[in-house]
Chains A and B, each alone.
Chain A
């Protein structure tokens, strides 16, 4: 006879962040139906309140490490840091949104609800420890982002970006599913912990399937993270999507994607057959991303495209830490710290840059020439943008410098000296285009049209977001242990 089914034991504290976030998003989209039209803009503040609430619940959930849903989710320190980064990123994204959403006539309720759903996918990715959950979380995240990308219905660029993103994303998901199927076929389990346990017993033939599976999963992640050979979609999508959503895709989805990749790599890394050579594919991808991203960014004239290529390059830097974690167990702690710190740094810098782009972008205009003389017309915005650019370059008192320092020192400790050198050279190249934005803002004369027309006010929420991210960029750059000592 079949054994009596046992429902996994659930503790409310452990699952509260996920359940409440889901209910909150559903409540917002329902409330949007019943509210009169002029009240609907309350959705964004409500969404922000939700993020604060989830932050509180997450801190409670992570008091004690746990494995809710029968080990499908792992509430450990790594996941805690990822969730901190994701919640800060989501909160800042909501803060920089209101003016833009108002200006472009985006429906408030759907926008906020989908943002929250995307965040649900992200925090689930950060904690999921089982391949099917991981896949579904990734799809929840991606599907929300596809819709958000195309939410500017009247803008053909937005629709084009959404369609490209959707088709290519669906294609890459097929790779991911195929890879998961191979891993399951070789080990008979979708739980990463069990896979790690069973791998040593796997025979020679299974080893081949594990390699194929890992390769396919890696291909799927390369797409989602916009890593070099599969990065082509990024510039078009970043350019066409509504700017706050571009910021969210560039930051949040990368944080979550790298967290998930970390889980997969960790489950395979300790297996004997996965030698250092196996992970050389990561080496190649990282180098390609850094080189292609940085060189292609030099010729960009649109700030969103520039940031897209820069994000490809930054993914390359971050992938170095994954390579180190996978291949050199001795440096694993350092590399994981570098990974977490850089994710936080990367998110703050990008959200600051996109926040300024929203504050001074008029309709459909994100050309870099548009920033000429910004230092004259609105010095504070120019200063914030300059700070973001300096931090992205990696100039000392900012998070960008400390993050790169952690990554490259981890690479050198692990014996990847050549990778650290390539990364450093790539950073030098990146200074060309980051500093060009600063030159345009501070050295060029503002166009007559820009000087005459009054800029629309930045808005309280966006100002707050810019202020918070600027302060954090400098403070965490001077005192990195404030972040790393959180737990």
Chain B
């Protein structure tokens, strides 16, 4: 069954890329691998017939957020010696061992999940998931929908507080 193979491939690529995000010593490479992870996730959503989530995954994460990421990394202009990542070379055996254990665990989990998924997810889903999501979001899950907006307001307040120019402490009594 080709779909199943596609699942496996996407899972493996996503996990491998995620691992490279952590392991690569160049932050730009890390960001690039993160984009790859996001795209693979979008592919997995697509295979699950969740076209809307897949599109959002590409537009918001792989597109907007990652571009912002790359901007920040390039503006910071980190030089090689300023990169704070530890050097893994002296720990090579342990890294290999850990990675092996990790992959065995992940493989086993993937296998179980996929085998279950065959029973859980029907291959045929309603063709247009967007109205379905919209209706659920504004009826059954109305409260979480509103709470997310509160959360965003708080995040904006926090961002503004970090970004704003600090007044000198002597003058703050009158300001």
A-side residues, CB < 8 A to B, are: 2, 5-8, 22, 26, 29, 37-38, 69-70, 72-73, 105, 107, 110, 113-114, 117, 120, 124, 130, 132-133, 136-137, 139-140, 143-144, 146-147, 150-151, 153-154, 205
- Partner of A136 from B151, B158, B161, B173 at Cβ < 8 Å: B151
Instruction: Please tell me if the beta carbons of A6 and B139 are within 8 angstroms of each other in the complex.
Output: yes
Main secondary structure of the interface of B (DSSP, over half): helix
Contacts of A107 in B (CB 8 A): 161
Contacts of B157 in A (CB 8 A): 29, 110, 113-114, 147
- Closest approach, in angstroms, between the C-beta of A193 and any C-beta of chain B? 14
8 nearest A-B pairs in the assembled complex, by CB-CB distance: A105-B172, A147-B158, A136-B147, A69-B143, A5-B135, A5-B139, A132-B144, A37-B175
In the complex, B123 has a CB within 8 A of chain A: no
Instruction: Please tell me if the beta carbons of B140 and A8 are within 8 angstroms of each other in the complex.
Output: yes
Instruction: Please tell me if the beta carbons of A2 and B131 are within 8 angstroms of each other in the complex.
Output: yes
CA distance A152 to B114 in the complex (A): 49
In the complex, B141 has a CB within 8 A of chain A: yes
Nearest chain-B residue to A26 (Cβ)?
A: B153
In the complex, B116 has a CB within 8 A of chain A: yes
- Partner of B151 from A7, A140, A146 at Cβ < 8 Å: A140
Instruction: Please tell me if the beta carbons of A144 and B154 are within 8 angstroms of each other in the complex.
Output: yes
CA distance A144 to B132 in the complex (A): 32
Nearest chain-A residue to B155 (Cβ)?
A: A143
Contacts of B125 in A (CB 8 A): none
Contacts of B155 in A (CB 8 A): 143
Instruction: Please tell me if the beta carbons of A37 and B166 are within 8 angstroms of each other in the complex.
Output: no
In the complex, B138 has a CB within 8 A of chain A: yes
Contacts of B151 in A (CB 8 A): 136, 139-140, 143
Contact A8 to B142, CB < 8 A, known contacts A114-B154, A140-B150, A140-B154: yes
CA distance A143 to B150 in the complex (A): 11
- Closest approach, in angstroms, between the C-beta of A212 and any C-beta of chain B? 10
Contacts of B135 in A (CB 8 A): 2, 5
Contacts of A26 in B (CB 8 A): 153
Contacts of A146 in B (CB 8 A): 158
Given contacts A37-B175, A69-B142, 12 further A-B contacts (CB under 8 A): A2-B135, A105-B173, A114-B154, A117-B150, A124-B147, A130-B144, A132-B141, A136-B147, A139-B151, A150-B162, A154-B166, A154-B169
Instruction: Please tell me if the beta carbons of B147 and A140 are within 8 angstroms of each other in the complex.
Output: yes
Instruction: Please tell me if the beta carbons of B166 and A143 are within 8 angstroms of each other in the complex.
Output: no
CA distance A133 to B142 in the complex (A): 10
